[in-house]
Structure 1
Amino acid sequence: MSPATAVAPAPATLRPQTPHAFEVAIAPDPVRVAHMRRITMAFMRHWAVPIQLARDVVVVVSELATNAIQHGHGAVRLRIRHTCNELHVEVTDDNPAPARLQAAADDDVSGRGLFLVHVLARGWGASEDGRTTWATFSVPAGRS
């Protein structure tokens, strides 16, 4: 079809877009968490997210992806949306049991990941079906 005769899609087929977003799926292999961190940091730089906020987001992505790999089922999906005042991180797997914050004993070698998410993010939680754990971060004014 030539450009002069091209037909635009019907408005009902158009989907609203966020200003910035990306999504990636990985095999449930612990070595893939490092790939998610690198991908996330690359997008944080591209979106001009302040470095300390970007580092916090990368830590949260790492913790949520690790939890999904250790306790989930199937592929692990990461989605990050960036609007002018917020970053929203979602990690999804096929386990319907939602992530829960638990207290780790002093001598435990793991179990502090969701505590880090709780401390670094503005808010966090799990979807109603338990398959997605999310975290939100405030973006400083003037940094979109």
Structure 2
Amino acid sequence: MRGFTTTRPGRLAVAAVAAAIGVVAAGGIADAQGTGTPRETTAPATAGCPGDGHLDTNYVCTSLSGGGLFHRKYTNDVISTWYTKTGGSAITAKLGFSASGKTHWGGSFTESSGQTKTANWSGTGVAYCTLTVGLISVAGQGMFQTPQATGC
């Protein structure tokens, strides 16, 4: 499966909406103050997402053809984005999130089917009530994102 595509409305439409409300960086990319270091973690029970992509308050996901992209804000300034790969060829990617016009990226990694990679941030100044979007940039395939995580 090379077509790393979303199963919901196209990523360009989602990106256009996010850009219109100011959650996707319009200029350069700002690095997170947290480590943003990807690491392998235990996979969630399923990589699938509900139709609207909202799992809970400030917990969202997007189903992609090769797995699921998840994004969660836990408290003020503690944010995670992770990708669970359920099929297809190995990918090289990086995880990130956007908030208030700034994009924060973790380091690059390679991921194979059956793995979950996670990037965590703290120290970015993002409040719990700030709108955020989880991101994955896959080499040769483009960028994909979650719906907005909102909680207030």
Same fold per superposition (TM over 0.5): no
Larger strand proportion of the pair: 2
**Larger RCO: 1 or 2 (CA < 8 Å, sep 6+):** 2
Greater helix fraction, Structure 1 or Structure 2: 1
